[in-house]
Structure 1
Amino acid sequence: MKKIMAVLSVVVLALAGCGNAEKKDEQESASKTETLKVASLIKPMTEILDLVKPELKKEGINLEVVVLSDNVQPNSALAAKEVDANFFQHVPYMEEFNRNNKANLVPIKPIYFANYGLYSKDYKKMDQLPKGAVIAVANDVSNIDRSLALLAQHDAIKLKKKTGPYYTMKDITENKRDFKFKEVDLLMLARLYDDADAVIMTPAYASPLGLTPKKDALVTEGVENDFAITLVARKDNQDSEAIQKLAKAMTSPKVKKFLEDNYDETAIPAFK
């Protein structure tokens, strides 16, 4: 009986040892996993981040997507080190935030071009817009610049030679059709679709209205510009291994195919 008890004790101890070893391995594995918080806003930005989660997990990175409700919070959170990166903006918008807030945000990798377009509920062509038509544009300086450049690109207005970082309304030298500009918050643009004669916006805000650049826009921007939606981090963490792995995953053939298959001309890959 004593021998049996002794054998059982050895077995129990052995099993306990195995359990402790497994627990230790799990703890070590967990300690090796790094959490990376990335702030974002809407599709396809959030979809791209969700798409790369499994790949990053293999690399020991737990990607946490923090979805925020406006276009100010992601930069404020990043500057305050509440998140490690963000993915929602183009570089001119980031640069304006840096200037206004003495921040050190830096672009990591351009991911896709959100094809800017001019949309109208009542008119199908640019030359149908009446004299004095009201055109809604985003009210931040980088997107005012972008909107004016789009209109000038299609000869709807003329602008003086750019001397500063952005075009402003004061740079309009010719506006033969006396277009009026209504400046509103970026997230309010889609709501103006029913009230303004036309609205200039990206596909992300046009899409919920059932609009696409190719099918519905009176004019579009294309990809010859500086406005690619970009992965952004801070100067202090831009070279970190986790950020670089995230950038690599977001510019993979898998992401490129996802954009081409699901978003066509509305989100054009900015990488090869």
Structure 2
Amino acid sequence: MKKIITLLVLTMFVLAGCSDKAKPAPGEKKVVNLKVATLIPPMTDMLEIVKPLMKEEGINLDIVVLGDNVQPNNALANKEVDVNFFQHVPFMEQYNESNGTDLVLVKPIYHAIFGAYSKRYKSMEELPEGATIAIPNDSVNTARSLIMFADQGIIKLKEGVGLKATQADIVENKKNYKFEEVDLLMLARMMDDADLVTLYPSYAAPLGLTPSKDALLTETVDSEFAISLIARSDNAESKAIQTLAEKLTGPEVKKFLEEDYAETALPAFE
């Protein structure tokens, strides 16, 4: 009986020792894991810049790079990631409307200057009648493209259609331009086939193109279209996500944008 009691005491002592080892040392911060879905530079670059800053706050930033502009929202809605960084608010709202989800804005981060580019022509005046213009095929970016052309007087849209605009809302197209709707990620490949292609700067940059030097026209900067940090309504106010928003709008990121992306990405924060 004494042997059994002794063994029980020893076992409890060993288990207690193991338990103590599993606990963080006194004063040691518990590491929080934060998973963020994203797509391409400069988004990926910005996240890499803040990753060590997040680590100082006891947060491990797990950057998940996905292959298209549907996966990041699906992953967020399905709780496979905690937050995403790749889209503007109208795109998020369209996703919510189509999928019955409740994704929410955390913080606008930067403005991606949207523009139209051509390999064949140097100005909109050179663009011939009946020219083919490639634009994104998702509803929000289709509307954004059409609004850009309408603002420049290239076409005219029905009054008040706003971000619901489709080609059916074009009421005046004096040069009979043909708008071809193409997947956003495939637009750069259309540079050889179309007369004019609308591109985000992230997709124009690999082609050696910048909005200020090469675009035949650009849209005005509108905060509504700022590339933003997006979360779910159930986690948007969490300390880890709010810390990420703080770091992405900090001096390190601002300096990076001003020095490396001055012609293509403008900070959406002071």
Normalising by the residue count of structure 1, what TM-score does the alignment of the two structures yield? 0.89
Contact 2:144–2:163 (Cα < 8 Å) also in 1? no
1:79 to 60, 77, 88: 77
Identity percentage over the alignment? 58
Show CA shifts across 1:78-122 (max 9, x none).
000000000001111111110110011001111111100000000
Q: Determine if the alignment matches structure 1 residue 51 to structure 2 residue 49.
A: yes
**Amino acid in the other structure paired with 1:256:** K
Amino acid at match of 1:143: N
Q: What SS does the corresponding residue of 2:175 show, helix, strand or coil?
A: coil
Matches of residues 162-241 of structure 1 in structure 2 within 5 Å? 162-163=160-161, 165-241=163-239
Which residue in 1 is equivalent to 2:136? 138
Q: Pairwise CA RMSD of aligned residues?
A: 1.8
Q: Which moved more, 1:262-271 or 1:161-170?
A: 161-170
2:153 to 142, 155, 161: 155
- What whole-Å deviation, never above 9, does each CA across 1:58-89 have from its counterpart, x for those lacking one? 11100000000011000000000000000001
Deviation, 1:28, is 8.1
Which of structure 1's runs of 4+ aligned residues deviate more than 3 A? 20-30
Whole-Å separation in 2 of the counterparts to 1:28 and 1:73: 39
Distance 2:217 2:257 in 1: 22
Query: 2: distance between equivalents of 1:193 and 1:163?
Result: 29
Query: Secondary structure of 1:264's match?
Result: coil
Q: Distance in 1 between matches of 2:89 and 2:24?
A: 43
Q: Secondary structure at the match of 1:88?
A: strand
2:58 aligned residue:
60
2:120 aligns to what?
122
State the alpha-carbon separation in 2 of the partners of residues 28 and 162 from structure 1.
Answer: 59
Paired residue for 1:261, among 259, 262, 265? 259
Distance 1:185 1:215 in 2: 25
1:236-251 matched pairs, under 5 angstroms: 236-251=234-249
Tell me if structure 1 keeps the 8 A contact 2:118–2:195.
yes
Deviation at 1:29, TM superposition (A): 3.9
**TM-score, normalised on structure 2?**
0.90
**2:92 is matched with which residue?**
94
Instruction: Go from structure 1 to structure 2 and tell me whether the alpha carbon gap of 1:133 and 1:26 turns closer, same or farther (over 3 Å shift).
Output: farther
1:69 to 54, 67, 70: 67
Q: What is the deviation of 1:173?
A: 1.1
3-state SS of paired residue (2:63)? strand
Corresponding pairs, count: 253
Give the partner amino acid of 2:74. S
